[in-house]
Chains A and B, each alone.
Chain A
């Protein structure tokens, strides 16, 4: 792996260079979050001149996860016309899709990891895969973590570069740049960057080693436990009573990936779109007959947690949670997934 060292001014130049040929996004600050018409909430287009000031090189996760870059809200799956005069009325067409490379700055290690996890169910999904192809993640490994961060508990680390294309970390007088993939390689090709001094590289390695082995998680006992023990737990009742099924946790979650598909027709032009859904909503599982297999709030609350902590690992291996802590921070009734995990762990220990 190539490792460079750059000054803040060089970072600014790099971003300006990328901006000439790619579409570059950066995390929005709190106030800008809703004010970006051309990209997802929580992100903004970088205009070359002020690149660095846009980067919140602070602590903890960005306002929004990188989910919308891979799983846009909405994604057009196909298009058609319903105009009566057209001979191709009702014929389904492949949508026109942007092939522009998008570079996302300021990505946190937890969010980078979420893309790898979401890739498991989306392995065969051509839209997700096309978006992965055209998206480069330029991350910042975390200087500090917040009280809501728990990536280490989920098998990640605040210092990880897994899933990133370029990983930047703070060093004295600038940044260390680790080139982690071919896409990352392409981003630095043609830029005259100085190799990182040995001292900086070993300092970073020492920080990582001090963090211990992140892949061993005490939660792994959940994977081997009987579904019935977890499913029938009394704790869901009180949790379901507290939860208002608002769905906020599912939308801000980087690893919640379910979707709805709907047809949308505007003035005779139709498209079939998919957009983020939430298993917190009663409509999610409602049959046309009126029967609803998860008609009760408690069933839906349980479904979300067990999907992350049991159903997903049963099918794919890892937990479907990266410990970014956004749901902990934003839940209006203070439900904390770490407490849910503690309770489940306690259950399996009793078992």
Chain B
């Protein structure tokens, strides 16, 4: 039964992720041990962050299910609830309702495959969750390619982890920024350009692409040119949501409910939908 009751959680840590201060990561721990155990999610799912007096917002879960003792959400300050959340401090109490929606098929279609992850801007959050999930069972997957771009070095999320991943040797990591910047000796160029240069083979592969619509639009042609098909590509949609449980109707894209049928869809599924997202 749907009760709309969030789990009580406490903010355990806050990290300001970006140089503009607009992205903060919130590490949340459950107040009740039983809830820690009850919570089971899959990378790619989302949850409602609940602030008493402010409301709820649907946010992708940035932590992997393998990080068992806490949840991580990276939140862009944009509206009423996110602004209130950005003003909260460590130790403050709030709520989490979820997990909601369908995640990436890490335990099914992705198993045994080469995985190509392409992320732009702060859409990287659920892909961080995915990568950590994959790394926890690294031998279940083939080659992992991770392409991630942001406007500037200071707008990259999870910079410490990016460095760790770069040193591992079992991830083909490509981190890029839009324009030259002082002190940056990594890749420069938009994500679609880098994806075209990396040209990951579609053979026995699955791609997960999250980013601004314009990035996705320009990333697809270079991939299609080397044989990628719409069934191999997973995207994640977002729409305004209220219940997150398939009842309130807000997030519908034609006959499809983003909260219930998604947010993760194959590109083939997305192409069949009216453009209402």
Which residues of A come within 8 Å of B, CB atoms? 77-78, 80, 82, 89-92, 94, 121-122, 124-127, 129, 227, 231, 257-263, 265, 270, 272, 274, 277, 279, 284-289, 293-294, 299, 303, 306-307, 310-311, 314-315
Q: Given A124-B2, A288-B78, A293-B277, A82–B239 Cβ distance below 8 Å?
A: no
**B56 touching A261, Cβ below 8 Å:** yes
List 22 A–B pairs whose Cβ atoms lie within 8 Å, in order of A's numbering.
Answer: A78-B4, A82-B53, A92-B5, A94-B3, A122-B247, A125-B1, A126-B3, A258-B250, A259-B247, A259-B249, A260-B242, A260-B250, A265-B53, A274-B4, A277-B242, A284-B250, A285-B250, A286-B240, A293-B253, A310-B255, A314-B255, A315-B255
With a cutoff of 8 Å between Cβ atoms, the chain A residues found around residue B277 in the complex are 293
Q: Determine how close the nearest CB of chain B comes to the CB of A170; give it in whole angstroms.
A: 38
Question: What DSSP secondary structure best describes chain A's contact surface?
Answer: mixed
Contact of A90 among B93, B242, B243 (CB under 8 A): B93
Interchain pairs with CB closer than 8 A, number: 117
A287 to B5, CA, bound (A): 24
Contact of B52 among A77, A122, A263, A284 (CB under 8 A): A263
Q: Determine how close the nearest CB of chain A comes to the CB of B192; give it in whole angstroms.
A: 21
**B253 touching A261, Cβ below 8 Å:** no
A239 to B254, CA, bound (A): 18
Q: Given A94-B5, A263-B52, A294–B248 Cβ distance below 8 Å?
A: no
Q: Determine how close the nearest CB of chain B comes to the CB of A109; give it in whole angstroms.
A: 25
Which residues of B come within 8 Å of A, CB atoms? 1-6, 8, 50-56, 78-79, 82, 93-95, 238-240, 242-243, 245-250, 252-255, 272, 274-277
A286 to B248, CA, bound (A): 15
Q: Which 10 residue pairs are nearest across A and B when measured between Cβ atoms?
A: A258-B249, A288-B79, A311-B255, A90-B52, A126-B1, A293-B276, A77-B4, A288-B78, A80-B52, A261-B242
**A92 touching B50, Cβ below 8 Å:** yes
Question: What DSSP secondary structure best describes chain B's contact surface?
Answer: loop
Q: Determine how close the nearest CB of chain A comes to the CB of B214; give it in whole angstroms.
A: 12
With a cutoff of 8 Å between Cβ atoms, the chain B residues found around residue A274 in the complex are 4, 242, 248
With a cutoff of 8 Å between Cβ atoms, the chain B residues found around residue A261 in the complex are 4, 55-56, 242-243, 248
Q: Given A90-B93, A126-B3, A307-B249, A285–B239 Cβ distance below 8 Å?
A: yes
With a cutoff of 8 Å between Cβ atoms, the chain B residues found around residue A314 in the complex are 255
With a cutoff of 8 Å between Cβ atoms, the chain A residues found around residue B274 in the complex are 227, 231
Q: Please, which residue of chain A has its CB at the minimum distance from the CB of B78? A: A288
With a cutoff of 8 Å between Cβ atoms, the chain B residues found around residue A262 in the complex are 55
With a cutoff of 8 Å between Cβ atoms, the chain B residues found around residue A121 in the complex are 246-247, 249
With a cutoff of 8 Å between Cβ atoms, the chain B residues found around residue A311 in the complex are 252, 254-255
With a cutoff of 8 Å between Cβ atoms, the chain B residues found around residue A92 in the complex are 5-6, 8, 50, 52, 95
**A285 touching B247, Cβ below 8 Å:** no
